[in-house]
Structure 1
């Protein structure tokens, strides 16, 4: 973390503390006038939130910087709100704030599965009279969350080795006779997420529309069958390095990391068949001081222009169906929300994952350590 970032977070924390002591400029919730008529994503009434303090929380780095430039800062300028940035997102901190009744975070970027699991617990229901979700792809907006962006878990392969006969999906990832070589998958203990289980089951003959509930024992058996050929990565940076170094011939990794590696010259391509969509979501912690203002920020964030700019700044895919980011051909190829890409996706049951993730973490950690 660089010095300027530390200073920015320290200033934000101090400002939040002062706001809490003074009632955040709005007490238990500002009585704001957001205008009449139906909500429209990407818009906010001019100066409607003057005197209101909000805190936006995300994961830092290029991603949060892009969020701030594309949506948070323009929202503050138009609405008159004072929006501070903080981070990284920390679920323990959210719980502590909600449990204590002293919630200082207003809009938080979280993992979609965690967000689903905390709806009505640590996260408040969203107000869809303020938030316009009409341009969010069907099924992605939930009771307590809306997508912040989308990416995917993809299969990247060494095109010099397999270019004449590339793998067509996860069955080929597991076929070490036809496609010899090292494979890499995420191997993060105490963190189970969509990816290895779904790929293993599809490779073992489970129909894509019959994946859930996941048969974990069957998936582990399939994964064990190629364990001698597996390399495990623990961070996104490690997964990207596997492509740039050529250490693994096929890699299961996040699409943004594959994009960065290929952009940097890695001799790999992505097989998009059966990629797994992943998204971050935006949510409002239960007990947030200014829920209407928080909903207004989320509504602004979902606008077509804001989403297009976010994609241009970060390479993550926009979730407004009308967003038209200006990208080079490689960037365009990595848009997971395009109609052609959506047709290639495996459907992930986030609600099932949310209900079962704790048990899956135990089983996944046990398999990794076996």
Structure 2
């Protein structure tokens, strides 16, 4: 399976200040001795010193994103709960498999691609305990048996408002209309990786109804993509996508919302067309046979709090997944939130379960087309 690609910042590895040893099982309090208190779970809370003596490791993708997670949720959780939490990363699916297969799991809570996590529920990932995790403020349909969302963003259509402002593109049909909207288009093109975006956009542009997208007709989608191939500029990382917008090399883009926001913040004259945007999220999960699952569930529950989610958004620009979160952002930042009023209703419905079942074959087909 592919590694998760970089988004807001390059994630070749976790910053040296974050990367610590991960052999944390020894000396931890046993699950049986943990008292999380009585009453129903409430996201964003933890009983004071409930995890004193517990050692844990939180794993994510490094860079701005993991630093934001640490400051917004993980460090405050450690201070309140008494747990000692080490940071590690980047998330590596082969390492997770090796840990689970050897029954030597040293990672407690992991941030991963949501499609990979969907496919690994009950295999490498264990079911979450929703008596400890309060998901009542998470939008319907985003939580699964083994996962909750870590944050949200989107694959969005952005356009140069200086060029198209008087008659802007409104959706993926316009993105693929190079006669009415001439110019280069930025689009993801990473061999060895395939995710929601190009196939869905191409099929919508070719006349497929949004509620009839799945199963994806790959041949039809690649034919549509091929028809505009000479106008496409492929990006492999979020940094490349952002640079294409900032340099003016492209007039339109199918890019991650966080990278579009960063480009606009740096002066790129782009605007989002929210119609038919595609929701994307990371997921939080607990590896199978984790040494202290009760503590892991408590950390996830704390992470989902409104205050924690608001701060995470302020630090990273990713959209919060708690419906009560009210991040303090400037006007530009608010304009790029996928949770802004009126935006969620415009999203395409992405079938993550279908992607989880078919991603390996989709990677093969996508890589073959890119190399053709």
TM-score, length of structure 2 as denominator length:
0.95
1:26 aligns with 2:29: yes
Q: Where does 1:127-138 land on structure 2 (aligned, <5 Å)?
A: 127-138=129-140
**2:270 is matched with which residue?**
268
CA deviation after TM superposition for structure 1 residue 7, in Å:
5.6
Inter-partner Cα distance in structure 2 for 1:339 and 1:95: 40
1:180-237 Cα distance to aligned partner (Å, 9 max, x none): 1111110000100000000000000011111111111110010011011111111111
Q: 1:2 to 1:344 in 2, by over 3 A?
A: closer
Does residue 348 of structure 1 match 2:358? no
Please state how far the C-alpha of 1:26 moved relative to its aligned partner: 3.0
Q: SS of 1:362's equivalent?
A: helix
Q: Which runs of 4+ in 1 moved over 4 A?
A: 1-4
Unaligned segments of structure 1, at least 5 residues: none
Task: State the match for 2:171 in structure 1.
Answer: 169
Alignment deviations for residues 60-110 of structure 1 (CA, whole Å, 9 cap, x no partner): 011101101110001001101111111111111111110110000000000
1:256 paired to 2:266: no
What is residue 229 of structure 1 aligned with on the other side? 231
Is structure 2 residue 92 aligned with structure 1 residue 81? no
Task: Provide the rounded CA distance (Å) in 2 between the counterparts of 1:62 and 1:359.
Answer: 32
State how far apart, in whole Å, the 2-side matches of 1:109 and 1:275 are: 23
Q: Report how many residues are paired.
A: 362
Cα gap change, 1:98/1:304 in structure 2, threshold over 3 Å: closer, same or farther? same
**Aligned-partner Cα distance in 2 for 1:3–1:149:** 20
Structure-1 residue corresponding to 2:318: 316
Q: Is the 8 A contact 1:30 1:52 kept in 2?
A: no
Contact 1:106 1:291 in 2 (8 A): yes
Q: Is the 8 A contact 2:14 2:88 kept in 1?
A: no
2:361 aligns with: 359
Partner-residue secondary structure (3-state), 1:340 = coil
Counterpart residue number, 1:5: 15
Counterpart in 1 of 2:100?
A: 98
Tell me the CA shift for residue 338 of structure 1. Answer: 3.0
Query: For the aligned residues, what is the CA RMSD?
Result: 1.4
Task: Give the Cα–Cα distance (whole angstroms) in 2 for the partners of residues 226 and 209 of structure 1.
Answer: 24
Q: Note if contact 1:30-1:290 (Cα within 8 Å) is conserved in structure 2.
A: no
Question: d(CA) in 1 for partners of 2:245 and 2:201?
Answer: 19
Alignment of 1:1-370 (within 5 A): 5-6=15-16, 8-9=18-19, 12-13=20-21, 16-17=22-23, 19-20=24-25, 22=26, 24-26=27-29, 29=31, 31-370=33-372
